[in-house]
């Protein structure tokens, strides 16, 4: 059982233990929660390279969580028993790179890796406290189904997921609305994704409502999500070094909210053999620009083939930024103040661990086509962005591992555009066509959503 505490990036709240940090999500001063220190390798570390995925997950969580050995072991096993691959993830050599397939979970998205674990963790904490929780989420398509799959059927939890009515793909909609568990509520809002997000913000800002219904969130700033994503960086880096004899590896990471690559950054700082992190964005390139110029400045969101990376403000970036200013919370507050005022902040110097690049729509399509024609491997459009950027940073001493964040069948239209063929299928998705669905349509109005939650909350 770990005694590590979690502090706010903004430094203006008292430290919290792991269980409280996970239930809080965000710190009360508006900052993000980070461990007060990262743990250096210890005497068991030499055994990590040969451990299974689940063993590694156990070793990491037990070091950062105020939970018993029995609790952590059960959480890890329950989370990953739902995966179709025995080792949870799988790394396959394809042409010049290795593809780390993170999509073998129930909804074929890498977010399952974190959300299957988070769902179990919420259940455990609520069981221990005798409490309950009503999760409210807004989705443009992909995250909603992974969040629903993480908590469906769990006691003490209801989940309300808003999506813009008629504006998510048919497959994505069915992945959500075909889940008929009584604690799952799909809300089709007559508006855009931005409207859904606005409603979400409004309800979370209504503190009496939030407290009365123990409103919770599952978004990627939750520390438990970052922690559990470190596992595949350790696992894949160790395995690849053992297989190839290389001293270290580099990871290419298709990036949106900076959650995934932040886990890689922390893994590297904890001693995983990672030489470099290759950050890849689509046209929404605020992070690529930052790592190349030191300037983090707001642009406009443009829709692309990789919608889960169509963001401008990266919600996890603040954790990394705290390290870049030497852990100085006052300095960080200054930078975040600059950004809020002017839409821009600047940091001097470079971090040698990172390189960054952009995969635009044409390059994404060309990469999907090339990997299919030359290697017979289908990349989903998010993964293709990462592979395209990775190709610009070959390293003879460090094999490149590209994270594959979604199964291509989730993005069949993009695959058709790129290859001219209808190649991307998966039996799980094909089977959805015949399933019954349940969904409630609500007007584009926070009051309507508030009433719905009040009626159906646990
Ligand atoms: C969420 C997501 C990403 C981006 O991950 P971040 O942690 O937000 O950087 C990339 N690809 C897919 C398919 C995703 O769903």
Q: What is the pLDDT of residues 314-323, one digit of tens each?
A: 889 999 999 9
Report pTM.
0.96
Higher pLDDT, 352 or 169: 352
- Contact 258 CB / ligand 1 (< 6 Å): yes
The pLDDT, as a whole number, for residue 360 is: 97
The pLDDT, as a whole number, for residue 205 is: 85
* Residue from 308, 320, 356 to probe ligand 1 pocket by mutation (most atoms less than 8 Å from CB): 308
Q: Is the pLDDT of residue 140 over 90?
A: no
pLDDT band at 193 (very low <50, low <70, confident <90, very high): confident
Residue-wise pLDDT tens digits, 258-311:
999 999 999 999 999 999 999 999 999 999 999 999 999 998 889 899 989 988
The pLDDT, as a whole number, for residue 296 is: 96
Higher pLDDT, 26 or 244: 244
The pLDDT, as a whole number, for residue 28 is: 83
- Contact 254 CB / ligand 1 (< 6 Å): yes
The pLDDT, as a whole number, for residue 365 is: 98
* Residue from 32, 290, 304, 309 to probe ligand 1 pocket by mutation (most atoms less than 8 Å from CB): 309
Q: Is the pLDDT of residue 141 over 80?
A: no
Distance from C-alpha of 213 to C-alpha of 218, rounded to nearest angstrom: 15
pLDDT band at 125 (very low <50, low <70, confident <90, very high): very high
Residue-wise pLDDT tens digits, 415-425:
999 999 999 99
The pLDDT, as a whole number, for residue 15 is: 96
* Residue from 252, 260, 317 to probe ligand 1 pocket by mutation (most atoms less than 8 Å from CB): 260
The pLDDT, as a whole number, for residue 126 is: 96
Residue-wise pLDDT tens digits, 373-384:
999 999 999 999
The pLDDT, as a whole number, for residue 161 is: 97
Ligand 1 centroid, distance to 259 Cα (angstroms): 8
Ligand 1 centroid, distance to 81 Cα (angstroms): 22
Ligand 1 centroid, distance to 146 Cα (angstroms): 12
Q: pLDDT averaged over the chain?
A: 95
The pLDDT, as a whole number, for residue 219 is: 81
Ligand 1 centroid, distance to 43 Cα (angstroms): 34
Q: Is the pLDDT of residue 24 over 90?
A: no
Give the whole-number percent of the chain exceeding pLDDT 70: 100
Higher pLDDT, 216 or 91: 91
Atom of ligand 1 nearest to the CA of 146: 15
Q: Mean pLDDT across the stretch 134-157?
A: 93
Q: If you take atom 2 of ligand 1, which residue's CA is the nearest one?
A: 308
Residue-wise pLDDT tens digits, 25-77:
888 888 999 999 999 888 889 999 999 999 999 999 999 999 999 999 999 99
Mind listing the domains of the chain with CATH numbers? 90-108+223-428 (3.40.50.1100)
């Amino acid at each position: 059982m770990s005694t590590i505490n979690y502090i706010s990036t903004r430094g203006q709240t008292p430290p919290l233990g792991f269980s409280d940090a996970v239930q809080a999500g965000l710190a009360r001063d508006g900052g993000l929660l980070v461990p007060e220190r990262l743990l250096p390798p210890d005497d068991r570390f030499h055994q990590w390279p040969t451990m299974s995925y689940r063993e590694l997950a156990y070793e990491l969580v037990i070091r950062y969580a105020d939970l018993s050995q029995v609790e952590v072991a059960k959480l890890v096993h329950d989370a990953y028993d739902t995966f179709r691959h025995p080792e949870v993830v799988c790394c396959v050599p394809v042409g010049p790179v290795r593809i780390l397939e993170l999509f073998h979970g129930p909804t074929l998205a890498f977010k399952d890796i974190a959300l299957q674990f988070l769902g179990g963790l919420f259940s455990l904490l609520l069981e221990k406290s005798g409490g309950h929780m009503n999760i409210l989420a807004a989705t443009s398509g992909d995250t909603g189904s992974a969040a629903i799959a993480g908590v469906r059927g769990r006691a003490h939890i209801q989940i309300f997921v808003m999506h813009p009515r008629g504006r998510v793909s048919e497959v994505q909609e069915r992945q959500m609305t075909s889940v008929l568990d009584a604690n799952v509520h799909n809300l089709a809002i007559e508006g855009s994704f931005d409207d859904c997000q606005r409603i979400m913000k409004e309800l979370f800002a209504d503190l009496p409502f939030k407290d009365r219904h123990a409103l919770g969130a599952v978004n990627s700033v939750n520390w438990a999500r970052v922690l559990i994503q470190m596992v595949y960086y350790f696992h894949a880096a160790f395995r690849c070094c053992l297989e190839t004899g290389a001293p270290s590896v580099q990871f290419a990471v298709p990036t949106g909210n900076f959650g995934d690559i932040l886990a890689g950054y922390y893994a590297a700082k904890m001693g995983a053999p990672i030489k470099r992190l290759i950050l890849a964005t689509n046209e929404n390139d605020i992070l690529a620009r930052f790592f190349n110029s030191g300037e983090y400045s707001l642009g406009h969101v443009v829709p692309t083939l990789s919608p889960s990376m169509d963001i401008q403000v990266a919600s996890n970036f603040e954790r990394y930024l705290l390290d870049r200013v030497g852990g100085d919370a006052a300095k960080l507050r200054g930078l975040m103040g600059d950004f809020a005022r002017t839409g821009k902040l600047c940091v001097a110097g470079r971090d040698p661990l990172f390189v960054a690049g952009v995969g635009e729509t044409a390059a994404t399509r060309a990469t999907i086509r090339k990997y299919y024609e030359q290697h017979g491997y289908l990349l989903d459009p998010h993964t293709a962005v990462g592979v395209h950027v990775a190709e610009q940073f070959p390293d003879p001493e460090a094999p490149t591992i590209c994270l594959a964040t979604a199964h291509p069948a989730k993005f069949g239209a993009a695959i058709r555009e790129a290859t001219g063929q209808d190649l991307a299928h998966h039996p799980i998705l094909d089977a959805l066509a015949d399933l019954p669905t349940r969904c409630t349509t609500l007007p584009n109005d926070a009051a309507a959503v508030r009433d719905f939650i009040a009626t159906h909350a646990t």
